[in-house]
Chain A
């Protein structure tokens, strides 16, 4: 909510801006303080002042109250940033995309900004400069919920460019909500890569002393430099503690908690690596560093839908969703099931030329359509099964396959970026 018209007019007539010192007289009360940005949930008639004590208070203004402009502060002078000196340290490219890892507070006005330049991020984590020559740029400055397939494409090109220019690693600070999708997209688009590409997020913003941004970023830089791993992966906390991290394959990772630092889990496989005070444990065979030139295949068929099956799902709710798209991924129940009506409907869609991929909303475990009648009917209809691939990964892979393969079904069933496997380890 913004200011009421009256209050907004009064502030305008004083030419008062956030950061100015105002004196407000309301009845027998007088307040003097710095004008703060209006909070979205504040009353439209409330001014927020930062008092000398540092506290913000909200003061309701009515017609009789006096507002005076006391002082306009001088613009703060920002110190020039020291350029990181190029030495014999490896060069790490950091490509900023926005998100919590890049949010910060302007102490003067108290406003929270969603985008911090990657430069500023690096200046907050000066230890990065001890590890590598840091070459940072901001590609986007958006929250990850606003990330769309065209952003993946743009990002893939930027990453390929950095790798082909000889970067030792590319780190991508990214909002966590859709980081798994971006990681999967990069995994398919980049194909063979000579050096690691690590997406890093934060569940606590970097303006807080307890932020996980710095520790995740540092752990990613160390992992990239010290380990002989050339994969697209995601690095985040492995526990609530600041001394353990997990590195996940970009196609296997999913955000499994809304707020915890260790929200990211590898599903159906162990993480690519676990980092603890005892050292780094690499759990899977992986691509090693080399000299291959990256040829990004960024084509995507964007008219693809991802549907979650639920009891009571009726075909007519989704008729347009599926018939209007060029491909659909369904997260079915259990082994990969939908109700009878939906079976008929899906069969028709496939007959009409729309590929339909079946995954499971259980996330853990593979689909198996051979066990029950429903499954067999779906198989007969030509549904594509993809073992234990995550629904989100299947969605991204289907988009990519439709644009890059002549045989979508075959491509979907063939592992190309560690996204699926036939066997799963028993953990007891």
Chain B
């Protein structure tokens, strides 16, 4: 059996469109920062009943969590001032429905657990979660993708601010039900990852009980390559970027393996942590970062990295170990580090580099990293730099990474160990009996293939477009647009063609939300502009303007027929001889100049009719 170039599993978290999981608050995000209170969380005793003093100190360093408790979308349950109510039946049924759709084995009795999380994102200090089903599968292009588990859990509070010793969370998101689906490590190409995610998204939407829009679905990727390690990229919100994250992570792991081989070939030994205070060298350095740090009574600390020259930033930028080091350093609250492969630059000129080289007794092939910050922070950051450098001798360290909007990712923390879970004794177990399952089986939602057939027969769109709409999760939006405007074919073309084209052209299509698109279609059906102008209008809307503003900006206002007729008549009379010579055959050649004048103002069909009319007027 040949080893795969890449192994990937995904975990999808999708918000359900019901009330909250353990109370009847609305599941909505709001803009309200009133009603706050302060809390602390303490780690609880270990299984052995002992308190880990180090963990305790760590938790106390973080000091306070401030919570905003907006009315209507949070109550005493979210504030951890009242025990949770029974799990929402609709949310539970949605998960049972989804589990049935994926042929997963449903447990006979659902037991909610408390998964310890003490970063403040849950007021209780734990996330409530229940395993509902296991061992399902998904058929994708003839391949079976395993579904390891399907869980029902509560979403966390959202972080709105982080200050010195205090993190602020808003409780509106806390408790929104989430379905969590974990696939097996069964995907082996970036495109396959996207396809599985799309397919799961489509099936989820088929339940009609999931929230839509950015942030309502979040994906975690687990990626490894042969010789590499399991890396988790947590919280991807943009489905279309999934393949890019996978590709970039594969590249990153390959690069790290290459760096390991280079270092091993050079016989680079484990680096010792020997920080040196080099502040005096930089007394008059014009570098902004260094000047700023020194002004705040910081220090410049250096560590030597023997044998690391050229891998921090080398081979035409294909080796970028420096950014790995910087990523680790940043977790200690410093802005970053400078390393020898990138200097002189950033206001640190050659004389400073020379002075550093001398102070650190640099030999050929050695590298250094410096950090300018308050002394303790800088020392801690560089200690981590050394740790990370030594990990580079071994290969790829397991870690959790944050996705960045450009498709790359950034170090966030080490991969968490097994979660500590214990029973949520405040929530009674939920029996899943035959009767309930039977009812769910009898009411399974319309499957994607069925929706495709229906779109074709009901709206007369072609098979390919219908399939594209369903696969892309746009079927519901399509139906809304089609029904609202009574222009199903325009709606289908817009979603199935125009949008992908705009995306290909690098336009920011996220600026057009569902409501924006609906309003564009409403204006279209009101005759405010011609349907030919829709793509232009949408392109304009990608800059963040509303449909109405785009109409104004583009000067697209529909022309009435009289005005249009006189424009066409003018064009025809200018070409009088040609028209008389060609007769009705002049329509084809003249459509170009006519549309150049009327595009966006008059429907193409109507323009064609007007042209025919004017030609007829001329020819005998």
List A residues at the B interface (Cβ < 8 Å): 29, 36, 39, 41-43, 46, 48, 51, 53-60, 76-79, 104-105, 107-108, 110, 112, 120, 123-126, 203-204, 206-211, 214-215, 239-243, 258-261
Q: Is the interface of B mostly helix, strand, loop or mixed?
A: loop
- Closest Cβ of chain B to A96, distance in Å, is 15
Residues of chain A contacted by B39 (CB below 8 angstroms)? 210, 240-242
Contact, CB under 8 Å: A209 / B47: no
Residues of chain B contacted by A259 (CB below 8 angstroms)? 76, 81-83
Type the 1/0 row for B168-189, where 1 means its CB is closer than 8 Å to any CB of A.
Answer: 0000000000000000000000
Residues of chain B contacted by A242 (CB below 8 angstroms)? 38-40, 64
Counting chain B residues whose Cβ lies within 8 A of the other chain, the interface size class is 35 or more
Mark out the residues of chain B between 402 and 423 whose CB falls within 8 Å of any chain A CB in the assembled complex. Answer: 418-423
B543 part of interface (Cβ distance < 8 Å):
no
Q: In whole angstroms, what is the CA distance A121 to B38 when docked?
A: 24
Given pairs A59-B109, A108-B47, 8 additional interface contacts (CB within 8 A): A43-B431, A46-B431, A55-B111, A58-B109, A58-B429, A104-B45, A208-B124, A260-B82
Q: In whole angstroms, what is the CA distance A215 to B81 when docked?
A: 15
Type the 1/0 row for B387-411, where 1 means its CB is closer than 8 Å to any CB of A.
Answer: 0000000000000000000000000
Residues of chain B contacted by A206 (CB below 8 angstroms)? 44
Residues of chain B contacted by A108 (CB below 8 angstroms)? 47
Type the 1/0 row for B25-54, where 1 means its CB is closer than 8 Å to any CB of A.
Answer: 000000000000111111111111111010
- Closest Cβ of chain A to B66, distance in Å, is 9
- Closest Cβ of chain B to A276, distance in Å, is 11
Q: In whole angstroms, what is the CA distance A260 to B82 when docked?
A: 6
B469 part of interface (Cβ distance < 8 Å):
no
Contact, CB under 8 Å: B111 / A56: yes
Residues of chain B contacted by A260 (CB below 8 angstroms)? 76, 81-82
Residues of chain A contacted by B48 (CB below 8 angstroms)? 76-79
- Closest Cβ of chain B to A34, distance in Å, is 12
Residues of chain A contacted by B124 (CB below 8 angstroms)? 204, 208-210
Residues of chain A contacted by B428 (CB below 8 angstroms)? 39, 41
Q: In whole angstroms, what is the CA distance A241 to B431 when docked?
A: 37
- Closest Cβ of chain B to A64, distance in Å, is 14
Q: Is the interface of A mostly helix, strand, loop or mixed?
A: loop
**B49: contacting residue among A41, A46, A55, A123, CB under 8 A:** A123
Residues of chain A contacted by B37 (CB below 8 angstroms)? 239-241
Contact, CB under 8 Å: B41 / A54: no
Contact, CB under 8 Å: B82 / A107: no
Q: In whole angstroms, what is the CA distance A256 to B251 when docked?
A: 61
B149 part of interface (Cβ distance < 8 Å):
yes
Contact, CB under 8 Å: B419 / A54: yes
Residues of chain B contacted by A105 (CB below 8 angstroms)? 422-423, 425
- Closest Cβ of chain A to B92, distance in Å, is 14
- Closest Cβ of chain A to B423, distance in Å, is 5
Residues of chain B contacted by A57 (CB below 8 angstroms)? 107-111, 131
Contact, CB under 8 Å: B110 / A58: yes
Contact, CB under 8 Å: B50 / A123: yes
Contact, CB under 8 Å: A41 / B429: yes
- Closest Cβ of chain B to A79, distance in Å, is 6
B521 part of interface (Cβ distance < 8 Å):
no
A-B CB contact pairs (8 Å), 8 listed: A53-B131, A57-B111, A107-B46, A107-B422, A110-B422, A126-B53, A215-B40, A241-B38
Q: In whole angstroms, what is the CA distance A84 to B115 when docked?
A: 32
Q: In whole angstroms, what is the CA distance A211 to B115 when docked?
A: 15
User: Are A39 and B429 CB-contacts (below 8 A) given A60-B108, A242-B38, A243-B38?
Assistant: yes
**A39: contacting residue among B50, B111, B422, CB under 8 A:** B111
Residues of chain A contacted by B490 (CB below 8 angstroms)? none
- Closest Cβ of chain B to A3, distance in Å, is 13
